[in-house]
Amino acid sequence: MSKKNTMNEKKVKDYLEKNLDFFLDKPDILASLEIPHLKKGSVSLVERQIDILRKENKDLKDKLNEFIQNASSNHNLIHKIYEFAYNLIHSKNFEDTISISYKDLIEEFDVKECTFLFYNDVKLKNKDILLYKKNNKLLKPFKSFIDNNLPRCNKLKDEQLELLFKQPNDVKSCALIPLGINQKLGFLAISSDDENRFNPDMSMDYLKVIGQLISQSLKSHQLKSI
């Protein structure tokens, strides 16, 4: 060993002896060190390394489990959307599309209540359909959503909930989904009794797909009736 290396090692040794807690806030360095396990007794650096590696291993396992759960959840969601699309393709008319949407959303997508609101008179027998002119003053609280033309999961005001749902007091979370290109048809409101079911931080992609599937089905029946 050269004299220079010996001097450097001495400096390191002297520094560490004066700063015994040096590695406490540097687990990344400690985890990468190669140190033989020495005597029993006080907690050695090897034992400290093992603790760090155990924690890192647990974090990796947690991330892996989360990834597996998300993958499984996404797989189930894709399957449900596929079945939903298949059912809509085989819908017979405008009202049949509404009925299929109600049934699938409530039974397959864990929705508590859903309401279709249309801007034009679509002449349907279904009593659950709401019909309002787009400039109706009752729709003023929805203006930013209507202008934005994207799914939304923000918390609604009491008057909005009362307009859209039969049981507004039971709504813990909800989503609004535009229908038609530039929302020319109207929108769909869905609710849940789980406050975390629909929230502003969730991905809106699948809600957008649901809106597009329903819109396309409604539009095709609309064109047939012209």
In three-state secondary structure terms, 35 is coil
Q: 86 lies in a domain?
A: no
Q: 103 lies in a domain?
A: yes
- How does DSSP classify residue 39? -
Residue 183 backbone zone (phi > 0: left; psi -120 to 50: alpha; other: beta)? left
More confident residue, 155 or 126: 155
Q: 151 lies in a domain?
A: yes
DSSP string, 175-212: EEEEESGGGSSEEEEEEESSTTTS-TTS--HHHHHHHH
pLDDT band, residue 75 (cuts 50/70/90):
confident
More confident residue, 47 or 87: 87
How high is the pLDDT of residue 84?
92
Predicted model pTM: 0.68
Cα Dmax for the chain: 96
In three-state secondary structure terms, 174 is strand
More confident residue, 189 or 43: 189
Span 79-89, pLDDT tens digits: 888 999 999 99
Q: Do residues 171 and 161 touch, judged by C-beta distance below 8 A?
A: yes
Q: 3 lies in a domain?
A: no
Q: What is the per-residue burial (b if ≥16 Cβ within 10 Å, else e) of 167-205?
A: ebeebebbbbbbbbeebebbbbbbbbeeeebbeeeeebe
Assign residue 144 the CATH number of its domain. Answer: 3.30.450.40
Q: 71 lies in a domain?
A: no
How many separate domains does the chain show?
1
The neighbour count for residue 94, using CB atoms within 10 Å, is: 19
Containing structural domain, residue 220:
92-224
Length of the chain: 226
* Res. 53: pLDDT tops 80: no
Q: 197 lies in a domain?
A: yes
Worst-scoring range by mean pLDDT, 2-11, 155-164, 199-208?
Answer: 2-11
The residue type found at 80 is K
Worst-scoring range by mean pLDDT, 41-45, 70-74, 115-119, 205-209?
Answer: 41-45
Q: 68 lies in a domain?
A: no
* Res. 98: pLDDT tops 50: yes
Which of 8-17, 26-35, 37-46, 54-63 has maximum average pLDDT?
Answer: 8-17
Q: 134 lies in a domain?
A: yes
* Res. 77: pLDDT tops 80: yes
Residue 111 backbone zone (phi > 0: left; psi -120 to 50: alpha; other: beta)? beta
CA–chain centroid gap for 41, Å, is 50
CA 158 – CA 74 distance, rounded (Å): 33
Average pLDDT of the residues in 94-98: 90
Residue 80 burial by Cβ neighbours in a 10 Å radius (0-12, 13-18, 19+): middle
More confident residue, 156 or 30: 156
How high is the pLDDT of residue 60?
67
